[in-house]
Amino acid sequence: MASRNQNKPPHSHSNKKIGAEEMERQGVVGRARAPLSAVVNNAEGTDSNTIEFTKEDIEALLIEKMKKGIPYDNKKKMDQMVDLIKRLKLCVRWCVDQNDKLHSEVESAAKKCCDTEMEMKNKTDELNDTISDMRKTISSLEEINVKEKLEKSEACRRLEVEKSIIVESLNATKELNKELQDRLKSLKETCSSQKETITTLEQTLRSEREKSEMADLSALQTRTMFEEQKRIIRELRDQLTDKEFQVVEGEKLRKKLHNTVLELKGNIRVFCRVRPLLREDRSETDMAVSYPTSMEMLGRGIELVQNGQKQLFTFDKVFNHGASQQEVFTEISQLVQSALDGYKVCIFAYGQTGSGKTYTMMGRPDAPDLKGMIPLSLEQIFQTSQSLKDQGWNFKMQASVLEIYNETIKDLLLSNRSSGFDQTRAENSVHGKQYTIRHDKNGNTHVLDLTIVDVCSVDEISSLLQKAAQIRSMGRTQMNEQSSRSHFVVTLRICGINENTEQQVQGVLNLIDLAGSERLSRSGATGDRLKETQAINQSLSSLSNVIFALAKKEEHVPFRDSKLTHLLQPCLEGDSKTLMFVNISPDQSSIDESLCSLRFAARVNAVKLGFQGVRPRHIHGA
């Protein structure tokens, strides 16, 4: 009977060692699952026709046969059962043998497996030890390798650097060698050319030495002549310096003597000033004025050409169109100083509209270098009064500013003046507050109810002057964009006392910018401007009548014909020091007005004031 073990587990390298108990349990299961042999169709059964069955297969077969209910007789059934039992016993015996055989094989295999595992464990431990040693060896070798690589890398880097340095040095050496070769070649060429040049120069040197010897002789002669010329020039310069000093001193003496003569004569001094041509005027070739160049007339004469005829006028001083404000003020500074000496001083500007009167007297407030005579005079008064404090002098000063507009006096320092006063006055010809002019027995002028302000510094008087100038009556005419429509009068009363000598002085400085005269035919004035022009011309005509009367020494002088002449009465008679600026325009279109102004100025210059030579001066400082 052939047999086959169907339940033996396959051998695997992953199977671990199985214990005796586990193997024994598997043996029991094996015996339960052992195959059985049965005879099919015949009772004898042979080994060649046996079929292997399991226990479950046999039981299932029996149950199936019983269900079929095949009728068997009992004997036959018993025989079959006996035969079946025999067969079953044989099967059981075979299963037990087979199980024992398998059990012994399993035990042998388990023992063999255990031995194998032990051997493998030992080999594994040996291999692990070997691997550990190898790893340590590899680690040390790697460290050595890394170190060697670093050393090699550093060595290579150093070699590269050394190589680079050597290459650069070699290149530099090559370039230097090339440069030296080129330089050597150039030097050889230069040396060759220099030899030729040296030969030429030696020849030239010999020639030049001969010339130099001759030049030395000539230079010696020239130097002698030069020294002689220098001596002559020094002598001439010394003589020129002496002459210039004599001229300056002579001019100073002339001015001093001239002022003394004028003081003794009592004449009103007159300065003429010509304004520059304006843009709207024609070129300078059309100027109607010229200046004599003779020594007697230099700086004092002026000529006007009308219809081909020259008109010559002579004044105390003539300023051409190029004179600066400071140059003009220098000429009047001593006169301004007289106010601190205790004199009554009056300076006023006269001329046609647009001739530069307001510029001369007021200048330009926005340009410090172009200040006029009024601000410059006031600054000098305050600066000089401060310097006299060292000599014991103390001064008290009072200022007033007014204008005469349409024969009406207007107080320009009145703080509570109505803002609509100008418009009402112009439109309705209604005068505001009336101011009365009074002259005392000492020749001092007083305007009743006029605002008088105590001033202690230049800044205070400048502020008052600026305020007054802003509200002064101005207007536009065809002859002047900003024409002064009134007479502008600034008065500074000076009272000084010397604490050391107890001397007292009282002086008055009147600074006046007269309104400009106009011809109605040229001004084109109408309405209010016409009334203003008529009032201005009438006022200036009254001034002309007063001057005529004074020049003719008439018994009656019409000072009261106008507010202007009434106010100027002390300045035109008595012991006042008076100076008039006559301003003229240089253009041909104004030749008639300029002639009228110069003729009037000549008459003013001929007026003699009271004798002043006996009056002592109390202050000699500054």
Separation CA 280–CA 44 (nearest Å): 167
Query: Which residues participate in the annotated binding site for ATP?
Result: 351-358
Q: Are 18 and 79 in contact (CB under 8 A)?
A: no
Q: Which amino acid is at 147?
A: K
CA distances from 207 to 39, 199, 211 (A): 163, 13, 6
Provide the token pair at 518. 């106009």
Question: CA 557, CA 350: separation in Å to the nearest integer?
Answer: 20
Phi, psi at 312, each rounded to 5°: -100, 130
Per the DSSP assignment, residues forming a β-bridge with 289 are: 304
Q: Is 323 left (phi over 0), alpha (psi -120 to 50) or beta?
A: beta
Burial class (CB in 10 A: 0-12, 13-18, 19+), 188: exposed
The SS3 of residue 404 is: strand
| Annotated binding-site members | 351-358
Rounded distance between C-alpha atoms, residue 30 and residue 7, angstroms? 7
> 3-state SS string over 310-367?
EEEEECCEEECCCCCHHHHHHHHHHHHHHHHCCCEEEEEEEEECCCCHHHHHCECCCC
- Within 8 A by CB and 6+ apart from 530, the residues are 520
Spell out the alpha helix ranges (H) of 482-562: 520-523, 528-551
| DSSP code at position 9 | P
